[in-house]
Amino acid sequence: MELHDIDLISVQEARDLVSLAVKAQNVYKEYDQAAVDRVVAAVAEAVAAEAEPLAKLANEETGFGKWEDKILKNLFASKNVYEYIKNIKTVGIINENKAGGLVEVGVPVGVVAGLIPSTNPTSTTIFKSLIALKAGCAIVFSPHPGAKNAISTTVHCIRAALERSGASPDLVSVLPTPTKEATDALMRHKNIALILATGGNAMVQAAYSSGNPAIGVGPGNGPSFIERSADIPLAVKRIFDSKTFDNGTICASEQSIITEQCIRNDVMKEIQKQGGYFLPPGDSERVEKILMGPGGTMNARLVGRSAEFIAKAAGIGIPKGTRVLLGEETRVGPKYPYSKEKLMPVLGFYVEDNWERACERCIEILKAEGAGHTMSIHSRDEKVIREFGLKKPVSRLIVNSPAALAGIGATSTLVPSLTLGCGAVGGNASSDNISPLHLINIRRIAYGIKELEDIRPQGIPAPPRNTGISDDTVELLVRKIVERLKADSVL
């Protein structure tokens, strides 16, 4: 079979899956809240039971991260997300204010297109399926080709749970032949109501350019500031907990450390104590050269790999037990990889004179890449924390917590989510942690509570209620017309 035949077949498969999803969703949208909740509970339970085998499958297929951490991701996407969304009203009457004369009705958007990355393939599939089903929607997935088997297996598990619950398995489906043409056909299909795009910049931009509404997420590049009042050992622990979790594949993870000159030595000693390795200048340059691939994008061969793997790829030796590689840096921009997003256990390291300069450096890093996403601060000075919160171009400022885990809502009170919006500054439609509420429209039934007279300010006269011509005026006009006609010898 020739390549163009595969492309044509994949496009037809996409169209067929959307048609099946439309039929399934037309039935599902009539479910009441209790029925929807039973379906969601059944799916959440089923995928949670398969958290370990799905984690191992994702790790084996992609080579990214650690399967042990991927188990936690799968459980987070199923159990934690379910616990948060289970009592949310999404369909039918979701809010009623009789006194205020307003009733709100949740209306599913319809069929959703879900783009799934290779970095978090099973957990993102689980997450997007649950929020779509909770919203009364169907979802068709376009899998990253590098994680096709793991994503398809996850979908198979979900479809089986749907069937057991009495719902149509076609509420959740996946493109069997993931080509660019199939993904484009899916995103541009007239029956796709919304696109949930998680992936690289090119994919997110394609989603926004499809002609259909889209919620995309931009790249992360979060700096982490260790301020002089911080508990330094705990700050380093939290940063390393985050950066080494699944080998740094969560986009909210820290990408650089910024600290103050007055605590520089203490921070560096603690980093080394906890398994960080500051690369000597020559070795730092060797690692720097392989961090990015063609076009300045992340080197896919290194994403989600261990510090040992990266060092070996660079041809350098590192101490046994090294957890994170650090490159000391003073520059920011597309030519300086340590200042960019690195979904792997590698960090840039910056030192500034004071917190004000550190604040400016963080803004510089974010403006170069990652604006709108996430950054973190480790401090016990509430004034400094507030200043960072007021000035940083991010949607999430994480305080004294591992950024990757707090950003997704695992160690913070943020909405549990694996799709993190970056807001307008990041070129996204939302700055929220995406939830089922982003997949519904709200129909508002608004009762009148005032009359026209009630809203007219005092002192502004009302126009005359009768704007017609009076009988006296008509008689006068007729008399004048008759007189004019006589004067003109017409009568």
- Reference 221, options 340, 335, 383; nearest CA is 340
DSSP 8-class letter at 267: H
Query: Comparing 12-16, 66-70, 416-420, 449-453, which segment has the lowest mean pLDDT?
Result: 449-453
Q: Could you tell me the pLDDT band of residue 482, with boundaries at 50, 70 and 90?
A: confident
Q: How many CA atoms lie within 13 A of 247 on its CB side?
A: 21
In the predicted structure, residue 464 carries a pLDDT above the cut 90 = no
CB-CB contact of 159 with 67 (8 Å): no
pLDDT digits (tens, 9 = 90+) for 179-219: 999 999 999 999 999 999 987 777 788 888 899 999 988 78
Segment 32-58, tens digit of pLDDT:
999 999 999 999 999 999 999 999 999
pTM for this model (two decimals): 0.91
Query: Which are the catalytic amino acids?
Result: 251
pLDDT value, residue 3: 54
CB neighbours of residue 7 within 10 Å:
16
Contact (Cβ atoms closer than 8 angstroms) between residue 329 and residue 349? yes
Whether pLDDT at 322 is above 90: yes
Question: pLDDT tens digits, residue range 297-310?
Answer: 899 999 999 999 99
pLDDT at 488: 73
Tell me the pLDDT tens digit for each residue of 103-140.
999 999 999 999 999 999 999 999 999 999 999 999 99
Domain architecture of the chain: domains with CATH: 3-217+435-444 (3.40.605.10), 222-413 (3.40.309.10)
Share of the chain above pLDDT 90, in %: 86
Q: What's the average model confidence in pLDDT over 393-417?
A: 98
- Tens of pLDDT, residue by residue over 54-112, are 999 999 999 999 999 999 999 999 999 999 999 999 999 999 998 999 999 999 999 99
How many whole angstroms separate alpha carbon 168 and alpha carbon 443?
26
Query: Does the structure show a pLDDT above 70 at 426?
Result: yes
Average pLDDT over the chain, rounded to whole? 94
Task: Provide the edge-to-edge strand list for the sheet that holds 276-278.
Answer: 276-278, 324-328, 346-352, 254-260, 222-226, 372-378, 394-399
pLDDT reported for residue 467: 56
DSSP string, 442-486: EEEEE-----HHHHSPTTSPPPPS--SPPHHHHHHHHHHHHHHHH
Task: Please name the helix (run of DSSP H) or strand (run of DSSP E) that holds residue 128, with its range, or none.
Answer: helix 121-134
Whole-number percent of the chain with pLDDT over 70: 97
Please report the pLDDT score of residue 217 as a whole number: 85
Calpha distance 299→154 (Å, rounded): 27
Tens of pLDDT, residues 360-374:
999 999 999 999 999
Check residue 478 and give its pLDDT. Answer: 76
State the pLDDT at residue 93.
Answer: 97
In this predicted model, what pLDDT tens digit does every residue of 245-290 receive, in sequence order? 999 999 999 999 999 999 999 999 999 999 999 999 999 999 999 9
For residue 474, pLDDT over 80 is answered with no
Per-residue pLDDT, 489: 67
**Residue 222 pLDDT more than 60?**
yes
Q: Give pLDDT, residue 429.
A: 86
Burial of 18-27, coded b for 16+ CB within 10 Å and e otherwise, reads: bebbbebbee
Tell me whether strands 111-116 and 192-197 are parallel, antiparallel or unpaired: parallel
> From the CB of residue 160, how many other CB atoms can be counted at a distance below 10 Å?
13
pLDDT bucket at 4, cuts 50 / 70 / 90: low
